Structure 1
Amino acid sequence: MKDLKMIGVIPSRYGSTRFPAKPLSDICGKPMVWYVYQQAKKAARLSEVYVATDDQRIVDVCNQYGMNVIMTSDKHKTPNDRVHEVSTKIDADIYVCINGDEPLIDPAVIERSLPEEKDENDLEYFYSNVITTISNPVEVVDPTNIKAVANAQGDAMWASRSPIPYPKGNMEFEYKKIVGVAAFSKKALQFYVDTPRSQVEFTEELDLYRFLENGKKVKLKEIECHTLSVDTPKDLERVRVVMAELLK
């Protein structure tokens, strides 16, 4: 497989209604986005990492800490829209969308999203999500966890906030959830912004259906990992405790 230029993009929106200024939340003396950026920089196959934001306050903090930052539109509806704008400004083969609310993200998860030799024929419209096994039954019914099922080739068949498949005939099914990392080729990002939202996407609020309902592959790359995202102030307190232990 040819050498590919692959960059990481951390979409960071200031004006969340549920948790305003979340990217700048203090964790042991540094903003959360700083931790995400440092973890992303450890992914060896990424040539560079950028924070993509819509707010000057985040730009200022990124500059203060020496992080690459790109100002983007405040009109974007999804993180993928923001990553697409980055793709119009920074040339690369693969763009990895890295959730800005996982300050403890394992660099191996980011690496797992990237193309492998077996993906060589799919690089033009490459789009992948990372999945991991759900170990806690509570997570299966939690709608914030997106459950996904792959076919024998590792491509997505379905994804849902509901438990899928329904365990009618087998209670031992090993459920998988999508982790907050997705990799796109430039053409896949362009397809995303050029294509209207699908009916299932609108219903589930899952943008991978924009690809599935239009006959595009979505690769599911599996890895065993533990995730701890910051969705609420209570989550932030939990991450602060974990980070304080790690920094001892």
Structure 2
Amino acid sequence: MKKMALIPARYAATRFPAKLMQPLGNKTVIRHTYENTVATQLFDDVMVATDSDIIYHEITSHGGKAVMSKKQHESGSDRIAEAVEEIEVDIILNVQGDEPLIQKEPLAKLLQVFEGDAGKNVQVASMMKIFTDLRMVEDPNNVKVVVDNKMNSLFFSRSVIPYNRAAIPVNYYHHIGVYAFRKKALMNFTQWPITPLEAAEKIECLRYLEHGIPLKMVVVDFKGVGIDTPQDLEHAKQYV
């Protein structure tokens, strides 16, 4: 089973323009993400898919692999689907370009759900972690997910789910936007129009649920730092 990691990398971020080219220690954010993904040794290939000559040169000039997008894309999934359209690959893992501190263990756990007889029916998988600070549950920037007893997603929302009316102990899960797909599932996704719940919540993976495809969720203890703001970059510098 051939496994490939794709890193969608858009230069013009709305909240933090050129964030992927910001220095983080002695490398840029995007180089950290690429090289840390390669260093996991989990993949047959790792590639950056970008709309930017600057990012393309940053990766290739340091010995990495990158491909230029031919079209404008609404999402990272669309960008990586274009990149792998002509490539023979079974499992594609989407690593966010702004996650420079990506780690091996959660990625390995995500890939494992496609293995064996139980994994044959898994089309899409993603990560979640338990909220330890319940104040973060109410923040709409943190996407929540609820699952069934087989760890398949039931719903994703920016609202608080589940609503704990009975005031009983319950886990709240924070969705982490790292995805793994079978190639066919990814290509199908890009052919479907945006669905009503996806448009309302601004959560891309709801498109799968609205087409009857659950995401297999894995619980991870992932302490990455997504670079969305200058403050996030300063936080990441503390780790580096």
Q: Common fold, TM-score beyond 0.5? A: yes
1:161 is the counterpart of 2:162: no
CA contact (8 A) 1:53 1:70 kept: yes
Shift in Å, 1:87:
1.7
1:222: which partner in 2?
219
Query: Among residues 26, 46, 49, which one is paired with 1:49 in the alignment?
Result: 46
Aligned equivalents of 1:109 and 1:154: distance in 2? Answer: 16
Offset of residue 178 of structure 1: 1.4
Mapping of 1:16-27 within 5 angstroms? Answer: 16-27=13-24
CA 1:201 to 1:224, structure 2 compared with 1: closer, same or farther past 3 Å? same
Deviation at 1:36, TM superposition (A): 0.9
1:38 matched to which residue of 2? 35
In 2, the alpha carbon distance for the partners of 1:35 and 1:45 equals 16
1:71 maps to 2:68: yes
Aligned length: 238
* Superposed displacement of residue 224, structure 1: 2.0
Separation in 2, partners of 1:44, 1:63: 19
Query: Is 1:116 the counterpart of 2:115 in the alignment?
Result: yes
Q: Which amino acid aligns with 1:29?
A: N
TM-score by length of 1: 0.91
Equivalent in the alignment of 2:208? 211
Q: Tell me, what secondary structure is at the counterpart of 2:77?
A: helix
Tell me whether 66-75 or 27-36 shows the greater mean CA deviation: 66-75
State the 1:170 CA deviation: 2.7
Structure 1 residue 19 displacement after superposition: 1.2
C-alpha distance in structure 2 between counterparts of 1:151 and 1:101, whole Å: 30
Structure 2 partner of 1:107: 104
Give 1:66-145 correspondences, 5 Å limit: 66-114=63-111, 115-122=114-121, 126-145=123-142
Contact 1:179 1:227 in 2 (8 A): no
Q: Are 1:151 and 2:148 matched, yes or no?
A: yes
CA deviation map 1:115-149 (0-9, x unaligned): 232543315xx111111111112221122211111
Identity of aligned residues (%): 30
The alignment yields a C-alpha RMSD, in angstroms, of 1.4
Aligned-pair distance for 1:85?
Answer: 0.7
Distance 1:74 1:233 in 2: 29
Residue type of the alignment partner of 1:50: M
Tell me if the contact between 1:40 and 1:110 (Cα under 8 Å) persists in the aligned partners. Answer: no
Q: Tell me if the contact between 1:132 and 1:223 (Cα under 8 Å) persists in the aligned partners.
A: yes
Q: Check 1:170–1:30 CA distance in 2 against 1; reply closer, same or farther (3 A cut).
A: same
Q: Give me the whole-angstrom Cα distance separating, in 2, the residues matched to 1:107 and 1:197.
A: 32
Moved more, 47-56 or 37-46: 37-46
Q: Contact between 1:73 and 1:82, CA under 8 Å: does it hold in 2?
A: no
Residues 39 and 171 of structure 1, relative CA distance in 2, 3 Å threshold: farther
Equivalent residue letter for 1:103: P
Of 174, 179, 191, 2:176 maps to: 179
User: Is contact 1:10–1:100 with CA below 8 Å preserved after alignment?
Assistant: yes
Equivalent residue letter for 1:164: I
TM-score by length of structure 2 reads 0.94
Residue type of the alignment partner of 2:215: V
List gaps (5 residues or longer) in structure 1: 244-248
Whether the aligned pair in 2 keeps the contact of 1:7 and 1:46 (CA below 8 Å) is: yes
Structure 2, unpaired ranges of 5+: none
Supply the AA of the counterpart residue of 2:107: I
Corresponding residue SS for 1:132? strand
Distance 1:135 1:56 in 2: 40
